[in-house]
Chain A
Amino acid sequence: MTTKTLNEKENVVVRFVGDSGDGMQLSGTLFSETAALDGNDIATFPDYPAEIRAPHNTIAGVSGFQVQIGKRIYSSGDNCDVLVAMNPASLKSNLKWAKKGGIIIVDIDTFTDDAIQKAGYTNNPLEDDSLSSYILVKAPMTAMTVEAVKDIFTDKRSSERSRNMFALGMIFYIFSKDLTHTDAYLDKKFKKSPDVIAANKAVVRAGYNFCENTDVIQAERAVVGHAQMPKGKYRNITGNIATAWGLLAAAEKANLPLFLGSYPITPATDILIELAKHKSLGARVFQAEDEIAGICSAIGASFAGAMACTTTSGPGLSLKSEAIGLAVMTELPLIIVDVQRGGPSTGLPTKTEQSDLYQALFGRNGEAPCIVIAASSSANSFYYAFEAARLSLEHMTPTILLTDGYLGNGSQLFRIPKMSELPTINPPFATPNDTTYMPYKRNPETLVREWAIPGMEGLRHRIGGLEKLDGKGSVSTESANHQLMVNNRAQKVQKVADRLPDQKVMGDEDAELLVVGWGGTEGALKLAVEELRDEGKKIAFTHFNYIMPLPKNTGDILKKYKKIIVCELNMGQFVNYLRMNFENIPMLQYNKVQGLPFEVSELKEKFKQILGE
């Protein structure tokens, strides 16, 4: 049976879907990790329902996990090559993601009349012609799971629980992955329950063996391309964990305690959860009574000399607006992480969007500029969190880091850096007993004030939200002073651009079209442009991580191209910001606000259309 030559595929997308509670996140994670260990590059994205446990077998309760593995991976992919659906509702709601001609694996045992009806089907989709353009694999997963564990468990609940492992075993077989990693995971996870270990191991093998005896699958077996990754030590990491670790790395580099004041909010909570674990690294984590207390405690902590952070999502950022203004006025370092989700209001808590850009740039009373930067992949969230902290600490300015639900919950391979490779962070501390110290005396080059920490001798001072007298920092309502201070705060942020790397462009200088993106859409945009370049199209791409201020060469880049299209998951917030800054450069825009990431196919279609015009 193993003599047959396997298909070769550059990349493959697998999507596991089922009832929340069916264990789809675990199946997806184990498959991703196994692939990564086997040398594939990977990118994953979990797709949770907003409800924790919606009614069984309903569309509202469907939970999913998508992973793309292979050679050239920039995102978790658009449509899937294999859809694993554990019940009718998950099939119904996810069929739209399945590639025509792709494989659909279902647990036929769950296709009861009741479940079919609950999913909103009038007919059993496995029996009418509706799935004829796919390779349909009807696996009796429940029955075979129960059979595999019959010597271990007899009650229905325990014996059916490992169905997700059956599905996983099938996927392992199709893509020729071994079970070592899964076995090791099970041994560790269920250390105290040998029965559970044995049951899961039996079921994953049952799934594997089932495929070996299923003709329709034999033809579809494939080996997936191995990635050419730089040498090094790797791990899998989600954007939220990477953000948390980037902040920890920055605190260590700056030799400051990390303080986090936060209130749980989807999809940012994982950062709070992660940092709460790391007391041994000096992380002082405070779960506040509300979003406002989260940021205000962080401002207090910053005044008291910590590297202070608050993490949130859009609605929380709204609540923090007044306090961000206080941090602008007091010119204290403060890192505000916004893991964006669909808005306005409560919006789409579990879905991704880039619609908080205006809020980050402009959402405060008064002239209140902040540094704004954006991560553009799950893995580089580590570096941009570090960068947000570095810029904030060295420039004594609140910094907003924008990530999003797609980056935050999605995972990628991460090449583990050494702390010694990261840049130093040198906050502008005041010198104890410096008789010339004044709270608002500025470095003439950077306009940055000094940071005097309570406890330091000879530097007692008062600051607050009222306008300050230049230099001395006492309260002032004098009109010319206000103008001067407004100018100083704005220029201080603009001067950050002196230290930013140049904006880079991928592609030809004489390209007919420049594609512009920012933040979490980089993967899809880059792949779309690369594929069009492979097809010989003259197209270039530039992606922004530094937003306020923009890299200094931004205008020079934009001026070079005949046509520019700015693509973002909002109604045009970045393109309008660019228009505001570069008045006479015409820019097209491509926008999508559906709570979903861009698909490579839709981008290519749009770019081709513009190139053809």
Chain B
Amino acid sequence: MAIEHSPVQLTKADFASDQMVKWCPGCGDHAILASILGIFPEIGYKKENFCVVSGIGCSSRFPYYVNTYGFHGIHGRAGAIATGVKIANPHLSVWIASGDGDATAIGGNHFIHLIRRNMDMNYILFNNRIYGLTKGQYSPTTKQGQVTKTSPFGVIDYPFNPGELVIGSRGTFFARAIDNSPKTLGEVCRAMAAHDGAAIVEVLQNCVIFNDKTHAEVTNREFKEERQLWLEQGKPMIFGKNRDKGIILKGNHLEVVEIGKDGITEEDLLVHDATRENTGVHMMLAQMCPPEFPMAFGVIRAVKAPTYNQIFEKQMEEANQVSPIKCVDDLLNSGDTWEV
């Protein structure tokens, strides 16, 4: 199922589209687009072998702005459409651009099932915690109590945390990034592209018009170092402006500690291992949020497991070798037949 590489080094310009980008000025989507345009040439596949699929929403305009084969589907169905693309043509690198409404409301079913199946594709979930294209109704990730156009008295629903959905569905890859941090966004997208299987990246994306600063509690410059834990494989979990805070596993839960206080040293901190199959710690990391905890960013989980598509192709190959039925004439004449 190898994907053919480009014989020449491609550049960003090879993927630039001639379409006018119609997102609002200041929208976090621009930064995500720039990251992807930077990564596609790096990945090295032939430009015709990328396929970008989306559903409906602001983020779902994405395929028009990348010059690849692209499909702009219907609301919530990007995952299902992309599944068909990948099964039908495993030699394509399949990417999905989806929002919190598309992925976790109307398309929630397809989202969890493509993760459960470990369908080999790259899924960018633009989470702005609001319905932007329909102008400001609450989504499944909107905070409880928030006033929106359809929750004038405050949202009653408890929100989804996309990371919990992914890890709860035994996803093999989950990473989190922030739209205004191109370097780290690029890094997680690179890790996502390198992962075989369903790779989900949640990007905390700011909607300047309908939900401005929704992620400010972790992105605000004044205290972001205190609220962001950037995970690195094999490294202890340290955060804070002075790199003086860390995460330890105490009993069956996580706890924030100060390094140097109460005899705590770096040695005591939890060391990140994204490759553990057990979901326990990954789930706890995905759940962390202020004020008690920093929010975890970077690759939270990246576990190796055969993909749906690898197993599928193997079955196709084996059936082809074993079955006496090699063509439809064989099939038509198989079993009980007789001459008249």
Residues of A whose CB lies within 8 Å of any CB of B are 33, 36-37, 39, 229-236, 245, 248-249, 252, 257, 259, 261, 278-282, 284, 286, 288-290, 292-293, 296-306, 308, 322-323, 325-326, 330, 416-419, 453-466, 474-475
Contact = CB atoms under 8 A, between A and B. Distances in A.
Contacts of B328: 245, 248-249, 252, 281, 419
B9 interface: no
B64 interface: yes
Given A296-B81, A454-B48, A454-B85, A462 B320 contact: no
Contacts of A39: 340
Given A37-B338, A460-B47, A465 B72 contact: yes
Interface string B55-96: 010000001100111111110010111111111110110000
A474 B19 contact: yes
B73 A288 contact: no
16 contacts: A235-B335, A236-B336, A259-B84, A278-B325, A278-B331, A280-B326, A281-B331, A293-B113, A297-B81, A330-B71, A419-B328, A454-B51, A454-B69, A455-B91, A457-B48, A464-B63
Contact of B81 (A37, A284, A299, A459): A299
A186 to B, nearest CB: 14
Contacts of B70: 460-464
A462 B72 CA distance: 7
A574 to B, nearest CB: 30
Name which of B70, B87, B91, B327 has the most chain A CB atoms within 10 A of its CB: B87
B301 interface: no
Contacts of A296: 73-74, 77, 80-81, 83-84, 110
Contacts of B77: 292-293, 296, 323
B74 A322 contact: yes
B337 A416 contact: yes
Contact of B69 (A259, A306, A308, A461): A461
B53 interface: yes
Contacts of A459: 48
A463 B63 CA distance: 9
B136 to A, nearest CB: 22
By Cβ-Cβ distance, the 7 closest A-B pairs, closest first, are A464-B72, A300-B84, A297-B84, A280-B323, A301-B88, A296-B80, A279-B319
Contacts of B80: 261, 288-289, 292-293, 296-297, 300
Nearest to A294: B80
B109 interface: yes
Interface string B280-317: 00000000000000000000000000000000100110
Contact of B109 (A289, A454, A461): A289
B322 interface: yes
A289 B316 contact: no
Given A297-B80, A300-B81, A466-B72, 18 more contacts: A231-B340, A235-B335, A279-B316, A279-B320, A279-B323, A284-B316, A293-B77, A293-B113, A296-B77, A300-B53, A300-B86, A323-B74, A325-B74, A454-B92, A457-B48, A461-B70, A462-B72, A464-B71
A290 B114 CA distance: 12
A187 to B, nearest CB: 13
Contact of A462 (B63, B333, B335): B63
Name which of B54, B77, B322, B325 has the most chain A CB atoms within 10 A of its CB: B77
A232 B69 contact: no
Given A252-B328, A464-B72, A465-B73, A284 B88 contact: yes
B329 interface: yes
B49 interface: yes
A229 B340 CA distance: 7
A239 to B, nearest CB: 16
Contact of B64 (A234, A278, A455, A462): A462
Given A259-B88, A454-B51, A233 B337 contact: yes
A210 B85 CA distance: 61
Contacts of A301: 84-85, 87-89
Given A280-B319, A284-B316, A300 B85 contact: yes
B89 A326 contact: no
A418 B329 contact: yes
